Chain A
Amino acid sequence: MNRKRISLRQELPLLVWLVVVWGALWQDFSPGNLLFGALIAVLVARLFYLPPVELGGRFNVLHAAAFAVHFLGKVVVASFQVLYLAAAKGPKVISAVVAVPLRSHSDLLVTATGHVTALIPGSLVVEVDRSTSTLYIHGINVRNAEDAEQLRRDVRATEAGLIRIMGSQAELSALNQELVP
């Protein structure tokens, strides 16, 4: 078996998540239960090997909290928009498939951007082009080129937020370079 060895530090987020799920499912966060959970987590991670996720090496908690609040606000607004569209426009609603080229080429950031975009009502990832890291997004109620441009800006803003949270140092400085002039 030719497996790439993963360092414990790289695997730690996964193990911590597995232990948290274990504790939550037993509804018991006593040290004994957590220790047993940690044992099972290591065992599971060894037995069911997954390719390691390449993290950017940094995580900004402050930006993450702001992003979470912003995300929840957007979900609330968009949910009611979709409700309004369903009730008022119904069968006559116009949508579009828009190509959004992303800045980052890291799998983690492309996936995270796609996930966040898909979770906000009104947009759906139809296709991903990994080689050029382009997302093809189906947006509801996109009637003209202006709306399409707005959707593209929104998705790229989401990506910028994610880069600020967990993008690599190079991506972060590229983003700041882009915003300064």
Chain B
Amino acid sequence: MNPETFTVDTVIDAVSAVFLVVGSLMSLAAAVGLLRFPDLMTRMHAATKPQVLGLFLLLAALGLQMRTWWVWPVLVVAWIFQLLTVPVSAHMVGRAGYRTKHLHPELLSTDELEAVVQQAAGTRGFTDDDGDQPAGRR
């Protein structure tokens, strides 16, 4: 082994080690957030978001360690699918949580959605029907 490849290997190993540790730290953050945050919405922040960075770092470390180019497209596709699905699931759970009042109003500094929902419920009568535009319909 000549000295040059040795240093390149060391650098790649060091970078992927840092990526793996920081990526795992993000998963730890999710766990801590789930335990510590007070209501469903704030827990959603902790549960879904650190995965964006955490998964990115873990996949990048994996790609660096595999040393073959054809593994990169799979990793990129995996990450993009994660990016596409995370906001959708977070939105659906958050929306359902808001509607079923799984939140602590005293922990909100402002709630600009409440008035709109009240108004929509008032003009249409209270129904369980969730149209495409539940709020702000005139």
Contact = CB atoms under 8 A, between A and B. Distances in A.
Given A21-B77, A114-B87, A127 B50 contact: no
Given A20-B73, A97-B108, A119 B49 contact: yes
A122 interface: yes
B77 A127 contact: no
A131 B94 contact: no
Contacts of B29: 79, 82-83, 86
Contact of B50 (A29, A82, A91, A126): A82
A125 B49 contact: no
A91 B35 CA distance: 9
The majority secondary structure among interface residues of chain B is helix
B113 A127 contact: yes
A129 interface: yes
Given A87-B36, A91-B38, A98-B112, A126 B94 contact: yes
Interface stretch (A2-10, A52-60, A138-146, A160-168): A138-146
Interface string B47-86: 0011011101000000000000011011011000001101
Nearest to A111: B87
Contacts of B98: 97, 126-127, 138
Chain B: number of interface residues, binned into ranges: 35 or more
Interface stretch (B3-11, B13-21, B130-138): B130-138
Contacts of B110: 96-98, 142, 145, 148
Interface residues of A, number: 53
Contacts of B56: 72
Contact of B133 (A98, A115, A121, A130): A130
B25 interface: yes
B24 to A, nearest CB: 12
Given A23-B73, A91-B38, A99-B113, 13 more contacts: A27-B71, A27-B74, A90-B36, A90-B38, A91-B37, A97-B113, A99-B112, A115-B87, A118-B86, A121-B45, A124-B41, A138-B98, A145-B109
Interface of A: 20-21, 23-25, 27-29, 72, 75-76, 78-79, 82-83, 85-87, 90-99, 114-115, 118-122, 124-127, 129-132, 134, 136, 138, 140, 142-145, 147-148
Interface of B: 25-26, 29, 32-33, 36-38, 41-42, 44-46, 49-50, 52-54, 56, 70-71, 73-74, 76-77, 83-84, 86-87, 90-91, 94-95, 98, 107-114, 116, 132-137
